[in-house]
Structure 1
Amino acid sequence: MFWDLSVAWDPKRAASLAELALRFGFTGIAHNVILTGQQVLSLRSHQCPIIPHTLPSSPGKSGPLWSSVAADLGIEGPSSEGPLLQLRRITLVASDVAQVAAAAQSSQLRPGYHIVAVRPTSHEAFVFACEKGVCDIISIQLDDKVPFQMRRKDILSFLSRGGFFELELAPAIRDAGRRRALLANAEQLLHATRGRNVLLSSAALEPLEMRSPHDMANFAAVLGLRGALGRQSVSEVPFRALQRGALRHGCTQVICEPGRGPSNGEGVGDVDMEDAL
């Protein structure tokens, strides 16, 4: 099963993006709403604008197994109906500790978001997000100069709490300069994580920026996620990020990765710190 956990929410393009994702063979996509500045601090008054697009049914994506995946992830209502799981994601652009801490309020939003991501833009925001941030994903803008040092100990702190880091594809498509910056910065992140708990998303603003799961896995290999890690970055890893979001929402049902047996007792997103070090 393949996932794209960041597709920009635009009511005018949502239908075409969802239809293209279905054609490419994705299991689900996450429509992404980005909040900045005062919007982050006023999160309690925020209303989720995402309305899933209705897609025609598909014989290959129906039945008990498909319904079980949605139920295990705590996905209900229109998001779980049809042949494509359409999820809700919120990304908070945070420049200070207060904005990172605001992510804790996201679980109180109605309707709630399935995924909460934080994009730190300062050193203090990055350190706090790694050590204490209430989020599923840390998404760093790697296609430009990173305004803080990505220290290994901070990155490993977030991994030890079961968090995930995100790489985005679309910026590399838009501009050659941004592509060079992404390649250089991704190398630093992957060196610290050893490729563990790193997912790749399209971050597509329009259909032309969306790619098939296999194209994304190939690009992951270019970034440094070679072999099985490239494929896992668009399949197993985003699925585990969704598991983390389900647990954050209070879903206590045992969730198994599709195609694998029950958990051996390890927590969702657990990292072998001995290997990482």
Structure 2
Amino acid sequence: MSVFMDLNLSYSSDKSRLHSLIESAAHLGFSTVAINYVFEPTAKKKQEIPAPTPINELIDQLPIVQGRSRPIRVLNRLTVVMSDSSHFRPSSPEYRCFDLLAIQPTTEKLFHAACMMYDVDIICISVTEKLPFFFKRAPVNGAVDRGLVFEVSYSASIRDATMRRYTIANAVSLMDSCKGKNVILSSAAEKPLELRGPYDITNLGLLFGLSDGDAKEAVSSTCRSVILHAETRKSASGIIYTMKSCQQEAPPAAHSDAPAAKRAKPY
């Protein structure tokens, strides 16, 4: 039996709405979801990267996944919307607080850099407007070789007919370049009504140009590969940073003996 995942549930300061999103995802059969914090820097003023809220503060008790006897797994994810190369800071300690790291480039130059150089897990494809560039085979293949995945979100197509056209057009253009490999389909849902079940998403993948097998992998095994890639990325230096260490970025009190990090198990 496949393990289905939705790695993009939009973060909301409204805890009841977020609670409903997670419950709906569990009811639809998703075993893992990621709460997505979007960071869009601007040139006008300095902005702070948002800190993820601990899961136990968002929801008291995790719901049980439909058809399984275990609770849903909830991850934290950061998406950086890039319109300038300075918006992505690879050494930023704030990135360590998130389980998954994604970027959404807005220009061809930044897309090429994201595919070939940036140490991230997911490259997001904009679905709310016509892309100002075409997907070229070389950078796309470079990203695939590096283990990165491309994400197409579908909830915008539910909200607006124009966005539906952009979603389909941009997704089809991407599939022509990557041949359906290393693609995940997620919701980017802001409310429960925008969520769809795994098999509905698989059918949507066919509309985007994915084969039946690739469409199923886009909500299951490829998502699992993203999580494994993130764990490997974070442990590349031999250290996995825990949420506890993220909350202790400031110097700890003198009497505190809680470890700031723990050693990763060798692969």
Q: TM-score, normalised by structure 2?
A: 0.79
Q: CA deviation at 1:148?
A: 2.2
Query: Using a 3 Å threshold, how does the CA distance of structure 1 residues 231 and 145 change in structure 2: closer, same or farther?
Result: same
Aligned pair count? 231
The correspondence for 1:54, drawn from 36, 56, 60, is 60
- Distance across 2 between alignment mates of 1:43 and 1:134: 21
What secondary structure sits across from 1:7 in the alignment? strand
Checking the alignment, whether the CA contact within 8 Å between 1:34 and 1:92 is kept in structure 2 is yes
User: Structure 1 residue 234 and structure 2 residue 248: aligned?
Assistant: no
Q: Establish whether residue 245 from structure 1 lines up as the match of residue 230 from structure 2.
A: yes
Q: 2:91 aligns with which of 105, 108, 114?
A: 105
For the residues of structure 1 that align with 2:225 and 2:189, how far apart are their CA atoms? 21
Counterparts of 1:174 and 1:45 in 2: how far apart (Å)?
28
Report the Cα offset of residue 180 of structure 1: 1.5
CA distance in 2 between counterparts of 1:162 and 1:43 reads 30
- The offset of 1:50, in angstroms, is 5.2
Partner of 1:20: 24
Alignment of 1:3-42 (within 5 A): 3-12=5-14, 13-38=17-42
CA contact (8 A) 2:104 2:124 kept: yes
Deviations 1:106-137 (A, max 9, x none): 5x228711110000011221111111112100
Q: Which structure shows the bigger proportion of residues in helix conformation?
A: 1
Distance apart, 1:46 and its partner CA:
4.2
Label 1:57 to 1:118 Cα distance change in 2 as closer, same or farther (>3 A).
closer
- Judged with a 3 Å threshold, the aligned counterparts in structure 2 of structure 1 residues 89 and 57 are, in CA distance, closer, same or farther, namely closer
Name the CA distance, whole Å, in 2 between partners of 1:232 and 1:218: 12
Q: Which has the larger Rg?
A: 2
Which of 124, 131, 156 is the matching residue for 2:116?
131
Q: Deviations along 1:154-191, whole A, 9 cap, x unmatched?
A: 11111111100001110111111211122122111101
Q: Contact 2:62–2:72 at 8 Å: present in 1 too? A: no
- Residues 143, 58 of structure 1: alpha-carbon distance in 2 compared, 3 angstrom cutoff: closer
Tell whether 2:97 aligns with 1:91: no
User: Residue 142 of structure 2 corresponds to which residue in structure 1?
Assistant: 157
Please say if residues 55 and 84 of structure 1, whose CA atoms lie closer than 8 Å, have aligned partners that are also in contact. no
Identity of aligned residues (%): 30
- Distance (whole Å) between structure 2 residues aligned to residue 163 and residue 111 of structure 1: 18
Is 1:176–2:161 an aligned residue pair?
A: yes
8 Å CA contact 1:5–1:30 kept in 2: the answer is yes
Say if 1:97 and 1:124, in contact at 8 Å, map to a contact too. no
Partner of 1:194 in structure 2?
A: 179
C-alpha deviation, 1:48, in angstroms: 2.2
Which segments of 5 or more consecutive residues in structure 2 lack a partner in the other structure? 241-263
1:222 matched to 2:207:
yes
Q: Tell me, what secondary structure is at the counterpart of 2:142?
A: helix
Moved more, 83-92 or 206-215: 206-215
Secondary structure (helix, strand or coil) at the match of 1:6 reads strand
- Supply the RMSD in Å over aligned alpha carbons: 2.3
TM-superposed deviation, 1:105 = 3.3
State the SS of the aligned residue for 2:185: strand
**Unaligned residue ranges in structure 1 (runs of 5+):** 63-82, 256-277
